[in-house]
Amino acid sequence: MICPHCHSENRDGARFCNDCGLPLSGKIAELAAAADRAESGPAADTVSASDAAEASGASAESPSAAQDVSLAGSDGESPSALGEARAGSSGPLDPAALPSINVAGVNVDENGDAYDFGPLPDASEEAPSEGGADVARAADDLAPFVPKRAAVDEAARTADLTGIDECLVDASYVPPAASWRSGDTMELPRVEGASAPQQREFRAPDANARKGGKGKVVAIVLACLVALGAAAAGATYYLELWGGKMLPDVVGMTQTDAVYALEGKGFSVRVLEVKSDETEGVVLLMDPGAGARTEEGTEVTVHVAAARFVPEGAVGVPRDEAANLLAAEGFENVTYVTEKSDEHEGLVLSIDPAPGTKATASTPITVTVAEPYTVPDVVGMTWEEAKAALEAEGFSAAVSYVYDENVEPGVAIGTDPAAGSKAASGTSVVVNVALSRAAELESATWGLFSEGASVNIDGIDYLVSSCDAVAYEGSETTSFTITAKPYTTFLGVTLPLDERSVSGTVVWNADNTVSSITES
């Protein structure tokens, strides 16, 4: 609905304008519409509705309320005639010549009927029907306040307009721009010398706003209930009345204290010992962790520090098995050494520190492992050197000469068992020493023809004066050259002959005995 005065938009069915307060129904609305049509003419010089509201506010009971002025005179003069009278007048205004101005809520009601400013009748004089109307009007919170008036005839409704010229607004006054936004207000000038009446609200309440208000109340109540419920849930959860129990932190406690704390809250406890350098019996770890919420009766595993000991079963077992036992105890500084032994190769002979000793992870551990006796390599050594080497390795030595013309005599050319062979300690190892047959037979030949020796060569006895030359000819044969005197024996008397040089060959047997001597 459009206001005929300020042209602002109002809701359908509104009884008053939200911006200027003009009644939108009844006679006042019709008069206002007629005045606006007259003002829109080419010769019109009118006063705006908002200006008239301000002017009438100086003498009205409600200057702050938005009012609208009807420019229709009580004598029936049109607004244009009023404008023409004002434009042609000069000097003081003649109140008798001015038209009657009816202002809603000031001197007339919403239907254009003049107020009766006479004394109010007693309550006993009011008609019952009027009482019923008052009750109905009071129930309607949208009805404006209308003073009661006595029933008078139409002739007595003319208002006294004495002094109205003081309230008229000059024609040059420019009214403020109308607000087109619902809910805005406008400021009216203060009326000097008069008390400000109670303000009136011309805006009709919005039914949807009422519903929204109730909805807000319901929402606030629900929010409060939800907050209270959440607070109660949080408090009971904190008190562990629901949602399980909170695991206490037992890390660093002794095993006894930790078990007591956990079982005191209804949990079952499983203890696992962990090799550690920490104080023995102290809890190192718990699973689930501290602070977790779990149901009562849940099993909690606590890891307790346990001391490290050199394992008892690490001696007399293979090296790999001993290494696993040491690693299980957490030892990190382990050294392995070998020792000659008749035990099975790789068997652990001893551990230092001894088994059963308490130690930390960084303690040096020495593990002695059996190593078999092995025949050393003595090739190229002399017999004396080879014998010493074998005895150092725990063996006994024996010699065996082997003829080999390609090796220097007296040098070891091998052993039996062969070098690198594994044998028990004390085993006799035969050293093969190289021997030259040529040298041996030559030596035997030199010994055969030594000075003063008597030899028989081809049936002739010779007394050797000197051996001049010896050579090995191979095949167990040596050649010789000697200086000797042949001799003969007669009746037991040796009769030497003249000394002469004799050459020949000697054939030897395998046992280095002479097989034959022949002169060449």
Per-residue confidence (pLDDT) for residue 403, from 0 to 100: 82
* CATH 3.30.10.20 given to domain 313-369: yes
Q: pLDDT at residue 87 above 50?
A: no
Please name the amino acid found at residue 407: V
Beta strands in 69-147 (DSSP E): 69-70, 102-103
Instruction: Please state the rounded mean pLDDT for residues 16-27.
Output: 78
What are the pLDDT digits (tens) for 415-430? 999 998 888 888 899 9
Domain boundaries, given as residue ranges, for the chain: 1-205, 245-306, 313-369, 383-435, 438-519
pLDDT more than 70, % of the chain: 63
Dist CA 445 CA 439 (whole Å): 10
Spatial neighbors of 405 by CB under 8 A, at least 6 apart, are: 436, 437, 438
Answer whether 313-369 and 383-435 agree in fold: yes
pLDDT (0 to 100) of residue 281: 86
pLDDT interval class at 342 (50, 70, 90) = confident
Least confident span in 37-41, 64-68, 170-174, 348-352: 64-68
Q: Are 390 and 396 in contact (CB under 8 A)?
A: yes
Domain 383-435 class? Answer: alpha beta
Q: Answer yes or no: pTM beyond 0.85.
A: no
pLDDT at site 185: 63
What residue type is 514 in one-letter code? V
Question: Which numeric CATH code is attached to 245-306?
Answer: 3.30.10.20
For the residues 471-477, what does the mean pLDDT come to?
88
Report helix, strand or coil for 272: strand
Low-confidence winner among 13-27, 263-277, 434-448 (lowest mean pLDDT): 13-27
Look at residue 127 in the predicted model and tell me its pLDDT.
43
CB 485 within 8 A of CB 463: yes
Query: CB neighbours of 275 closer than 8 A, spacing ≥ 6?
Result: 306, 307, 308, 328, 329, 330, 361
pLDDT tens, 116-144?
Answer: 666 655 544 444 444 445 544 444 444 45
Residue 440: per-residue pLDDT: 86
* Mean pLDDT in residue range 63-85: 39
For the chain, report the end-to-end CA distance as a whole number of angstroms. 172
Among the listed residues 345, 344, 393, 335, the one whose alpha carbon sits nearest the alpha carbon of residue 366: 335
- Helix 27-39 to helix 79-88 angle (10° resolution) is 50
- Among 2.40.10, 2.30.30, 2.60.40, 1.10.3470, name the CATH number for the domain at 438-519: 2.30.30
Digit-coded pLDDT (tens) for 23-44: 877 766 777 677 666 665 543 4
* DSSP bridge partners of 366: 335, 352
**pLDDT band for position 407 (50/70/90)?**
confident
User: What integer pLDDT is reported at residue 234 of this predicted model?
Assistant: 82
Residue 176's pLDDT is what? 62
